[in-house]
Chain A
Amino acid sequence: MLEQTVSKITTEPTNQDLNYWASRPYLRPETQERVRKAEVVLVPREGFRDQEVRTFPVRTEEFYDFLKTALSDRHAVDLAIEDDEYKELALHSALIELGGMVVLAVVVPVVVNLISDYINRRAEASAKKDELKVSFDLTVVEQNQGSARAIKIAYNGPITDFLPAILNAVAETPRVVVVQTPPPPALPEAKPESK
């Protein structure tokens, strides 16, 4: 009504690229392998209110299905969680929260368009569409033989500003310094089968 919402976008280097998420100890080896090879990965929030849980925002199931349907024939989409550990966190505000996602640089243009499309679909249910707020973290990863440039772009603000804000932030990502990704911890060796 009379209140104004200020949009907030932050851009910072991060070491939380695909290898980081693929190495999370709560993933089984086959899931780790899929995450490492994926081009778009939805990632959990860890330790909300000091709880030993990994959580995704409410309606992530729907967002994941939307991305899979739109991308699955061209790009690998996955989640950094096991199915039986998947939990959604319903918080207070009437905002469209997409949570965290890690995306290879080559698919960022497609993914940003899809995010925009998805947000607009969600907003259609609201009578006050232009007053909605949106929040998400998009980590853009540029992989290059052992090193990876990873930049986390976090947006929290009005729905009306998010697209120009995110496009500007993505356009500026090459200026960010290269972050060396620590090698992932070795997976436990498979025990030889007893005969």
Chain B
Amino acid sequence: MRSIDEIKAILRGESATSPADPDLEKEVAALKTVAVAANDQAFAKHLWCVGHTIEALKSYLKAYRQLQAREFFEGWCTLEQVELALGRLRPHFRDHWAEFRLAFIEKITIAIQSLYPYRLFLSPELLEESKICSICKKPVTVRITCGHKIGEVYDGEYCGRIITKFRVLGSALVRDPVQKYSVPFNIDRETRQTVDHYNYSTVEYLLCRWPEPWLNWDIEWTKALHPKSRFRPLSRNDKCPCESNKKYKKCCFSREGILRPHVIFKFHYKLSPELETTEFSN
């Protein structure tokens, strides 16, 4: 069994062992059991942070594998898991963000998410009627709580609320969802199978130029004029293809081209000459 320092060296990338090594989580759990038995709350919390760092790095590597296998939706969902793990971790582990490569995976996760074509999401409206504390499992009401605070760590476990009774009041299509995984897909009328109708060419462009998950790159979003010939013939009352939600006649009609999002990639490593174009528009 490794010591906490050896485990942390793996998370820093100083060892050949991958953060996805399944033994790592078991070893941290064992250390945490000892810390909790000794009522060493500070160390138990630190071990929760280390365990959650493993989870974030592991999810990141999984997302990378899924993307390279062109499992785009699965990769998207795993990137959301990275985002959620980092969100829980940040208030407790901010000082170690760069040390354990969390700043790196956060930057890359946000950048990849911005390259995805998903714009609208299905989102339920939930009426949460009763809940219990995830730590002590006692019922929680607004005035009578168990004393465990949401987002804190007790006995090396994260405190949240478990909803025990809820009702769905409705659902909506939204741009900025709480759950990013609720992506709507088309259904094939004949086979009734889900059809992934999205265009992943921007993500694809990146993946062809990103051979290792720890290689660093950046993107810069801007806008550029695109020749009108690249778009289907537009009438004045059509929706403008620049995604402004305005009518074409009131938007890009009088411009020389269509002003659309444009991304510039900056790869901080050597690309093969045939892949060196670093700008992409769709």
Contact = CB atoms under 8 A, between A and B. Distances in A.
Interface of A: 1-2, 48-49, 51, 53, 55-56, 58-62, 64-65, 79, 81, 83-84, 86-95, 121, 124-128, 133
A89 B145 contact: no
Given A59-B150, A65-B149, A92-B177, A124 B172 contact: no
B91 interface: yes
B170 interface: yes
Contact of A90 (B110, B128, B143, B223): B128
Given A83-B144, A88-B128, A93-B177, 20 more contacts: A49-B169, A59-B150, A60-B142, A61-B145, A79-B143, A86-B143, A89-B125, A89-B169, A90-B124, A91-B123, A92-B121, A92-B174, A92-B177, A93-B176, A94-B177, A95-B176, A125-B88, A125-B90, A125-B91, A127-B90
B126 A90 contact: yes
B141 interface: yes
Contact of A1 (B88, B114, B143): B114
A65 B109 CA distance: 33
Contact of A92 (B87, B141, B176, B261): B176
15 contacts: A1-B221, A49-B125, A51-B169, A55-B127, A62-B149, A62-B151, A65-B149, A79-B142, A83-B141, A86-B141, A89-B127, A89-B169, A92-B172, A92-B177, A125-B87
Contacts of A65: 145, 149
B261 A2 contact: yes
B256 interface: no
Interface string B122-157: 011111110000000000111111000111000000
B86 interface: yes
Given A49-B125, A89-B127, A94-B177, A127 B83 contact: yes
B98 to A, nearest CB: 14
Given A1-B221, A128-B110, A84 B87 contact: no
Contacts of A49: 125, 169-170
B204 interface: no
Contacts of A124: 90-91, 94
A60 to B, nearest CB: 7
Given A2-B261, A84-B141, A92 B178 contact: yes
A127 B114 contact: no
Interface residues of B, number: 39
A81 B142 contact: yes
Interface of B: 83, 86-88, 90-91, 94, 106, 109-110, 114, 121, 123-129, 140-145, 149-151, 161, 169-170, 172, 174, 176-178, 221, 223, 261
A86 B142 contact: yes
A87 B150 CA distance: 17
Nearest to A51: B169
A115 B195 CA distance: 45
A83 B143 contact: yes
Contacts of B142: 56, 60-61, 64, 79, 81, 83, 86
Contacts of A92: 121, 123, 125, 172, 174, 176-178
Nearest to B103: A127
Contacts of B106: 127
A127 B113 CA distance: 13
Interface core residue of A64, A124, A125 (most chain B CB under 10 Å): A125
User: 5 closest A-B pairs (Cβ-Cβ)?
Assistant: A92-B123, A92-B174, A90-B126, A125-B87, A88-B128
Nearest to A79: B142
Contacts of B129: 87
A2 B127 CA distance: 33
Contacts of B91: 121, 124-125
Contacts of B125: 49, 89-92
B87 A89 contact: no
Contacts of A86: 141-143
